[in-house]
Amino acid sequence: MTTGRRRFGFAAVIAALLFAGYGVSRAGQPAATAQAPVQAGKPADLEGLRAEVQRLKEQVARLESASAGAAAAGAAARPEPVEASYLNVKTFGAKGDGVADDTAALQAALDAAGNNAPWGVRGTMILVPPGEYRITATLNVRRMSFEMVGCGVGNSPAYAAAPGQASVFRWDGPPNTPMVKIRDSYGIAIRRIRWEGKTGVAGTTAINLHWVAEDQQGTNGATVIEQCYFGRYMHTAQGVWKGDLAYGILMDGENGNNDEFKIDRCTFVGCAKAGIRMANTQSVWGSVNDCTISECGAGIDTASSLTGYNLCFDACGTDFSVASTAHVRVFGWQSERSRKLAALERDAALIADGGYLQLSAIAGGVMIDAFPSDKAQVILRNLQFTQNSLSPRPTIRFGPSEKDVAVGQNFRVKVVDCTGLFPDQFQLAGRLWAEVPESRGEVEFRGSADKFHQFRNFLRMKPAPAQTLDTSRIDLAVADTAPATINAPGPIGVQWTGAKVYAGTGPPENAVAANVGSLYLRTDGGAGSTLYAKETGDGKTGWAAK
C-alpha cells in the first residue's frame, strides 16, 4: 500500500472514531454536544471531549505503527526486481508507424541481443510490439541464437481503414535485396510476424538463410519459422492485395549447411519465384508442416531433401519443383487450381502419400513431369484426383519428351491405390534402355476411375552393344488398353508358360529355338510367309508357315 493510500485510510478511521466519540456518550446515551452547542459554564464536557480526542489519536498512532511494520515485513519478503529477459525493439527507437525508417532501430536491437559474437552464438528474446516497421536496408544477423516474436499477422496499426494490432515488417528498399539475412547462426526462431514486400519492387526476399564456408561459429541450423505470413495481403497501407515478394524463405549460399529447419503453420501468397526455396543440396533434415502456399511461381522449389506434412497449394505454377538428387516426401498433399503438380529433374524423387489433388487448371497439360533416371523414384499412393473429366485429360509423364532419349539404369515409377485416374493419363516417354551396362526399371500403375485398371512392367535390358530387351525378364502390360509401346531392334517374346510369341526378320526355321505352340511373326514376310507356328521339336526346327 502506498503512503498516500495509507494516509487516506487512517484519516477515514479517525473520522469514524471521532464521530463515534463525539456523537455518543460512553454510557450509550446521546451526548449533550450532539443535541446543542456546548454551553458556557460547563467546562467538564469540553475537557471530556478533549480527552476522548487524545485517546483516539493514540489509537490511530498505534494502528499506523502496526501497518508500517507489516508493510516493511512484506517488502522484505518480496524478491528484488530482476532485469527484463527480453528486448523490446521500441526501446531502441523503432516507431512502427509505417512512416519512420525503423531499419537502424531494428538493427540496434539485434546488435544488443548479441549480434556477431566473437565465439559461438548468443542471443535472447526480441519482442516486436504491434506496428508496421518500415525497412529500407537489409537487417544483418550473424552468430546469433534468438527468438523474435511479434503479435500477429493481420492488419497493421498503420492501416487507416481498419487499424489492427499485427506486427508487420514492410520492405521499402531496393530491388533484389533480402529484408533479413542470417549467417553463421544456430537455433533462431521467428514467430507471428507478417512480411510484406513493396509493390513494384522485384526480387525481394523476406528471410534469407545464407551460409558460406568462412562462417564457422554456427551452421544456420535448427531454424524455426512459425505462424508467419509472407507476401501479398488483403489490407495494407499500400492498397488492397499488395506486398508481393520474390521468395518468402530462401536458403542459399555455398553448398553447406542451412539444415535441420522447421517451417510450421506459415502462409505464403504472391511470391513470384517460390514460397520456399532451398537452393543447395545440403539443407537436409528439414520439414515444412501445415503451411498454405497460394499464387506463387513454385510452391516449394528445392534441391534439398525434405519432409512435408499437410501442405496446401492453391493456384501455384508448380506445387513441387525438385532438383538435383533431392528426395521430397509429403504426407497429406492438398492442391487446387495449380497449373502443374510436380516437376522433377533426373535423379530427383517424389514420394507422396494421401491427399486431394484438383486438376481443373491442368486440362490437356502435364500434371507430373519426371525423368526416370538412375536412382529416381516417383511414388504416388492413396491420392484422390478430382475434376478429372475434362478432355484431354492431363498426363503423368515419365520422361522429358517423346524423343529418343535414354533413361537410366535404375528407376522406379509407382502409382498405387489412387482414385480418379485413367490409363490414358499415364505416359512413359523416352527410350527404355541405357548404353552401359543395362537398364533396370520398374513401372507400376494402379488406379480407379469408372473402373479399376492395373498394369505392371519390369524392364530389363541386355548389356551393350546389343541394346535389346532380355525377353526372359519382362512382364508386359496387363490392362484393358496397352499403356505403352516397347520398341526393340531384335526379337521380342511374350511367354505363356512354355509357349512364346516372337517377331523378327527372316524365317524362324533353323534360327529361332522355341517350344511347341510358340508363334513367330516375320516382319519382312509376305503372303503365306508372315505367320509361323512351332509344331514339332524343342529346338530351332519344326516351324510351319501359316
For residue 510, what is its C-alpha cell?
533353323
- Place 38 in a pLDDT band, splitting at 50, 70 and 90: very low
Q: Do the domain assignments include residue 295?
A: no
With a threshold of 0.85, does the pTM exceed it? Answer: no
Whether the per-residue pLDDT at 243 is higher than 90: the answer is yes
Number of domains comprising the chain: 4
Partners of 233 in the β-ladder: 242
Q: At what angle do helices 3-23 and 43-77 cross, to 10 degrees?
A: 150
Q: Are 194 and 228 in contact (CB under 8 A)?
A: yes
Whether the per-residue pLDDT at 24 is higher than 50: the answer is no
In this structure, are 198 and 242 located in the same domain? yes
Greatest mean pLDDT among 26-30, 52-56, 501-505: 501-505
In this structure, are 359 and 440 located in the same domain? yes
- What is the mean pLDDT of the segment spanning 73-83? 46
Q: Are 306 and 278 in contact (CB under 8 A)?
A: yes
**Which among 257, 296, 308, 312 is positioned nearest to 279, based on CA atoms?**
257
CB environment 37-68: b (16+ within 10 A), e (fewer) = eeeeeeeeeeeebeebeeebeeeeeeeeeeee
User: What pLDDT is stored for residue 301 in this prediction?
Assistant: 95
Pairing label, strands 531-534, 519-522: antiparallel
Residue-number span of the structural domain to which 178 is assigned: 87-257
Q: Residue 64 and residue 15: Cα distance in Å, rounded?
A: 15
Q: Residue 149 and residue 147: Cα distance in Å, rounded?
A: 6
Whether the per-residue pLDDT at 114 is higher than 90: the answer is no
User: What pLDDT is stored for residue 270 in this prediction?
Assistant: 95
For residue range 125-148, list pLDDT tens digits in order.
Answer: 899 999 999 999 999 998 888 899
For residue 306, what is its C-alpha cell?
525434405
Partners of 126 in the β-ladder: 87, 148
List the 342-344 sheet strands across, edge first. Answer: 139-142, 178-183, 205-211, 245-253, 271-278, 298-302, 318-322, 342-344, 366-370, 395-398, 426-428
How is residue 544 annotated by DSSP?
Answer: E
Contacts of 163 (CB under 8 A, 6+ apart): 155, 156, 157
For residue range 143-182, list pLDDT tens digits in order.
Answer: 888 899 999 998 999 888 898 999 999 999 999 999 999 9
User: What pLDDT is stored for residue 30 in this prediction?
Assistant: 42
Q: Residue 245 and residue 183: Cα distance in Å, rounded?
A: 21
Q: Do the domain assignments include residue 487?
A: no
In this structure, are 100 and 249 located in the same domain? yes
Q: Measure CA 425 to chain center.
A: 29
Q: Do the domain assignments include residue 270?
A: no
Whether the per-residue pLDDT at 12 is higher than 90: the answer is no
Q: Give residue 302's identity as a one-letter amino acid code.
A: T
For residue range 382-414, list pLDDT tens digits in order.
Answer: 999 888 776 778 887 765 544 445 555 556 777
**Which among 251, 187, 183 is positioned nearest to 215, based on CA atoms?**
183
- What is the mean pLDDT of the segment spanning 310-315? 96
In this structure, are 371 and 501 located in the same domain? no
Contacts of 494 (CB under 8 A, 6+ apart): 476, 500, 501
Q: Do the domain assignments include residue 91?
A: yes
309 φ, ψ to 5°? -130, 125
Whether the per-residue pLDDT at 88 is higher than 70: the answer is yes
**Kind and range of the H or E run holding 105:** helix 103-112
Q: In this structure, what is the dihedral angle of CA atoms 158, 159, 162, 168, given to the nearest 10 degrees?
A: -80
Share of the chain above pLDDT 90, in %: 37
Q: Do the domain assignments include residue 189?
A: yes
- What is the mean pLDDT of the segment spanning 518-525? 90
Q: Residue 312 and residue 394: Cα distance in Å, rounded?
A: 20
Q: Residue 455 and residue 501: Cα distance in Å, rounded?
A: 20
Given phi > 0 = left and psi -120 to 50 = alpha, else beta, which region is 501?
beta
How far, CA to CA in Å, does 284 sit from each of 223, 241, 319, 519? Answer: 12, 34, 20, 55
Kindly write down the DSSP assignment for every residue of 5-29, as one continuous string: HHHHHHHHHHHHHHHHHHHB-TTSS
Q: Do the domain assignments include residue 405?
A: yes
For residue range 250-307, list pLDDT tens digits in order.
Answer: 998 777 666 778 999 999 999 999 999 988 776 567 899 999 999 999 999 999 889 9
Q: Residue 241 and residue 235: Cα distance in Å, rounded?
A: 7
In this structure, are 91 and 65 located in the same domain? no
In this structure, are 115 and 137 located in the same domain? yes
- Place 109 in a pLDDT band, splitting at 50, 70 and 90: very high
In this structure, are 96 and 189 located in the same domain? yes
User: What pLDDT is stored for residue 375 in this prediction?
Assistant: 64
Q: Residue 83 and residue 79: Cα distance in Å, rounded?
A: 12
User: What pLDDT is stored for residue 4 in this prediction?
Assistant: 46
**What CATH number is associated with residue 148?**
2.160.20.10
**Which among 135, 132, 130 is positioned nearest to 151, based on CA atoms?**
130
**Kind and range of the H or E run holding 112:** helix 103-112
Q: Measure CA 426 to chain center.
A: 29
Q: Are 441 and 433 in contact (CB under 8 A)?
A: no
The overall average pLDDT reported for the chain is 77
In this predicted model, which residue has the larger pLDDT, 59 or 408?
Answer: 59
In this structure, are 91 and 73 located in the same domain? no
Which residue in this structure is represented by grid cell 498454405?
292
In this structure, are 398 and 519 located in the same domain? no
User: What pLDDT is stored for residue 1 in this prediction?
Assistant: 43
In this structure, are 234 and 215 located in the same domain? yes
User: What pLDDT is stored for residue 365 in this prediction?
Assistant: 80
Partners of 169 in the β-ladder: 133, 195
Given phi > 0 = left and psi -120 to 50 = alpha, else beta, which region is 537?
left
- What is the mean pLDDT of the segment spanning 341-366? 87
Whether the per-residue pLDDT at 448 is higher than 90: the answer is no
Q: Do the domain assignments include residue 131?
A: yes
In this predicted model, which residue has the larger pLDDT, 61 or 234?
Answer: 234
- Helix ranges, 29-94 (H): 32-35, 43-77
Among the candidates 232, 257, 282, a domain finishes at: 257
In this structure, are 438 and 527 located in the same domain? no
Q: Do the domain assignments include residue 9?
A: yes
- Place 33 in a pLDDT band, splitting at 50, 70 and 90: very low
Q: Residue 372 and residue 416: Cα distance in Å, rounded?
A: 17
In this structure, are 193 and 45 located in the same domain? no
